[in-house]
């Protein structure tokens, strides 16, 4: 066990114990701080914009559980809703009023959604939406974008083929090559590559699947006209446009990226924020498509804990709080202040840093040019990010332990938190400037 836990005594012991029972000591790989020179720190508790590790150290949190905690951790009204629900029982496996209440809120927020199905994870939402698209169109192929992540379902663990419109190849063991070949991987922000895929695979593409704001290669916003062009290509070729809004939904606007950019999807996948921190996700779209789902249609999809009463209680409380006036103006202001401060800190340190931001999600890339797709991200200085990450953690700022993730600002962050973050960044950037 290499000592990546300098000073984090209890986390080190906890990690060693975890590694004896859990593969890599974690239940989701990114939590293992792969490639980082420090960590993983174990978190003991969280409140507002702060997390506290097992050694009692407090951090300003920009992971936010990878997106859900837009209100901040342990929001009193969300906790109260959970307490009220849990005292009535934790799971019934039967229809409940809260599921309809949550569905009403989602349908009201996103005009492209007429019917919605609740599930328990983003992976399940996207996997189910793709199955539905394949059934609705009678086609088997999908197009996804390099650098976008849609959960760990086999069809999405696919690397780009040799050519820009080539069929994909499995990107990890266990994914059948025969299935991987049904996925074409195109560069993000390259609508021409998607047009080429439609030409090459005429009549075979069921759907184009995209994060309308990419946030799994760091944050990469859609180029002007990109989403509109994908919409037109899908309409021209009889394919469905699936927006994976698991991160961007209720994050970049109350109505998600489709509201922010004014482009409707045929199917939308949601997660993270809509669960209020509990296991809940969803997919939805036009009634004509969604009505293909069992029990009214033939496309089977199911889940023991789908629409769980505790999760739906947290979800309804979360969306009602986010619906209050001013939330997204506040998130925009905090995101903009953080972006400006980080840019100033990098300039003072003489460190090239490209910042991409959409509302309250942002990423800093150590490079001196625009970052518009995954190839640009792969050309950034990841070694410098590792030093910066360690320097920020040591100074009480908890960033995602990966150069390919986003910083998430919440409504619980204050101007003082932003100022403290920028001060830490000034020092960490200076330190990171030295190899």
Residues tagged active-site: 149, 244, 272
| Least distance CB 126 / ligand KE4 (angstroms) | 6
| Least distance CB 400 / ligand KE4 (angstroms) | 8
Q: Which is nearer to ligand KE4, 211 or 266 (CB)?
A: 211
61 contacts ligand KE4 (rule: CB under 6 A) = no
Q: Where does residue 157 rank: exposed (0-12), middle (13-18), buried (19+ CB within 10 A)?
A: buried
268 contacts ligand KE4 (rule: CB under 6 A) = no
| Least distance CB 215 / ligand KE4 (angstroms) | 6
Tell me whether strands 141-145 and 205-210 are parallel, antiparallel or unpaired: parallel
Q: Please report, as residue ranges, which positions from 382 to 401 form the binding site for ligand KE4 (by CB under 6 A).
A: none
Residues binding ligand KE4: number (CB under 6 A): 18
Residues whose CB is less than 8 angstroms from the CB of residue 77 and which lie 6 or more positions away in sequence, other chains included? 317, 321
Residues whose CB is less than 8 angstroms from the CB of residue 162 and which lie 6 or more positions away in sequence, other chains included? none
Largest CA distance in the chain: 62
374 contacts ligand KE4 (rule: CB under 6 A) = no
The single residue among 53, 190, 244, 264 that binds ligand KE4, judged by CB under 6 A, is 244
Q: Which is nearer to ligand KE4, 198 or 398 (CB)?
A: 398
Distance CA(362)–CA(141), nearest Å, equals 32
Which sign, positive or negative, has the C-alpha torsion 333, 335, 340, 342? positive
The single residue among 96, 112, 121, 189 that binds ligand KE4, judged by CB under 6 A, is 121
123 contacts ligand KE4 (rule: CB under 6 A) = yes
H helix or E strand, kind and range, residue 308: none
Q: How many CB atoms lie within 10 A of CB 283?
A: 31
Judged by DSSP in three states, 381 sits in coil
26 contacts ligand KE4 (rule: CB under 6 A) = no
The single residue among 271, 277, 284, 391 that binds ligand KE4, judged by CB under 6 A, is 271
Window contacting ligand KE4 (CB under 6 A); options: 118-126, 171-179, 194-202, 357-365: 118-126
Q: Which is nearer to ligand KE4, 123 or 167 (CB)?
A: 123
Q: Please report, as residue ranges, which positions from 126 to 165 form the binding site for ligand KE4 (by CB under 6 A).
A: 126, 149-151
Q: Which is nearer to ligand KE4, 287 or 302 (CB)?
A: 302
283 contacts ligand KE4 (rule: CB under 6 A) = no
40 contacts ligand KE4 (rule: CB under 6 A) = no
Q: What residue ranges in 74-145 does DSSP mark as E strands?
A: 115-119, 141-145
376 contacts ligand KE4 (rule: CB under 6 A) = no
C-alpha distances out from residue 221 to 16, 232, 365, 381, Å: 39, 19, 14, 20
Window contacting ligand KE4 (CB under 6 A); options: 102-110, 117-125, 325-333, 383-391: 117-125
Q: Nearest to residue 35, comparing CAs of 433, 400, 416?
A: 400
- Determine the length of the chain: 435
Q: Which is nearer to ligand KE4, 276 or 426 (CB)?
A: 276
Residues whose CB is less than 8 angstroms from the CB of residue 66 and which lie 6 or more positions away in sequence, other chains included? 30, 272, 400, 405, 408
| Least distance CB 426 / ligand KE4 (angstroms) | 27
Q: How many CB atoms lie within 10 A of CB 321?
A: 17
221 contacts ligand KE4 (rule: CB under 6 A) = no
CA 357 from centroid of its chain's CA atoms:
14
| Least distance CB 391 / ligand KE4 (angstroms) | 22
Distance CA(294)–CA(171), nearest Å, equals 31
Q: Which residue has the tokens 């009403």?
A: 104
The single residue among 146, 206, 246, 399 that binds ligand KE4, judged by CB under 6 A, is 246
Residue with the shortest CB distance to ligand KE4: 122
Q: Please report, as residue ranges, which positions from 181 to 220 form the binding site for ligand KE4 (by CB under 6 A).
A: 211, 216
Q: Contact positions toward ligand KE4, by CB under 6 A?
A: 28, 30, 66, 121-123, 126, 149-151, 211, 216, 244, 246-247, 271, 281, 405
């Amino acid at each position: 066990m290499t000592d990546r836990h300098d000073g984090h005594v209890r986390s080190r012991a906890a990690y060693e114990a975890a590694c004896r029972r859990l593969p890599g000591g974690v239940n989701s790989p990114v939590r293992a701080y792969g490639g980082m020179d420090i960590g993983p720190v174990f978190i003991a508790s969280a409140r507002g914009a702060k997390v506290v590790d097992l050694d009692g150290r407090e951090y300003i949190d920009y992971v936010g559980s990878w997106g859900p905690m837009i209100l901040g951790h342990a929001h009193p009204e969300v906790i109260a809703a959970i307490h009220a629900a849990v005292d009535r029982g934790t799971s019934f496996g039967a229809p409940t009023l809260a599921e309809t209440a949550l569905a009403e809120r989602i349908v009201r927020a996103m005009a492209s959604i007429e019917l919605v199905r609740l599930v328990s994870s983003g992976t399940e939402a996207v996997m189910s939406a793709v199955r539905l698209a394949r059934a609705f169109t009678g086609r088997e192929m999908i197009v996804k974008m390099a650098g976008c992540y849609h959960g760990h379902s086999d069809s999405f663990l696919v690397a780009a083929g040799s050519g820009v419109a080539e069929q994909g190849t499995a990107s990890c063991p266990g994914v059948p090559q025969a299935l991987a070949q049904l996925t074409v991987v195109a560069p993000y922000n390259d609508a021409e590559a998607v047009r080429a895929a439609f030409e090459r695979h005429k009549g075979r593409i069921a759907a184009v699947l995209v994060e309308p704001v990419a946030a799994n290669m760091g944050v990469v916003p859609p180029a002007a006209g990109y989403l509109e062009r994908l919409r037109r290509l899908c309409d021209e070729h009889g394919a469905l446009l699936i927006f994976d809004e698991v991160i961007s939904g209720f994050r970049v606007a109350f109505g998600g990226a489709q509201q922010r950019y004014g482009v409707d999807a045929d199917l939308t996948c949601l997660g993270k924020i809509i669960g209020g921190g509990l296991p809940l996700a969803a997919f939805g779209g036009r009634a004509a498509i969604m009505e293909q789902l069992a029990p009214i249609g033939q496309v089977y999809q199911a889940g023991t804990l789908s629409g769980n009463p505790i999760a739906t209680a947290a979800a309804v409380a979360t969306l009602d709080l986010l619906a209050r006036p001013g939330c997204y103006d506040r998130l925009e202001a905090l995101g903009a202040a953080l972006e400006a401060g980080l840019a100033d800190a990098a300039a003072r340190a003489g460190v090239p840093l490209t910042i991409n931001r959409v509302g309250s999600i942002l990423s800093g890339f150590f490079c001196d040019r625009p970052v518009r797709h995954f190839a640009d991200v792969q050309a950034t200085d990841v070694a410098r990010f590792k030093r910066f990450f360690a320097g920020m953690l040591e100074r009480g700022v908890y960033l995602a332990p990966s150069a390919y993730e986003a910083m998430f600002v919440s409504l619980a962050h204050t101007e003082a938190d932003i100022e403290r973050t920028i001060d830490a960044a000034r020092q960490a950037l200076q330190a990171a400037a030295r190899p």
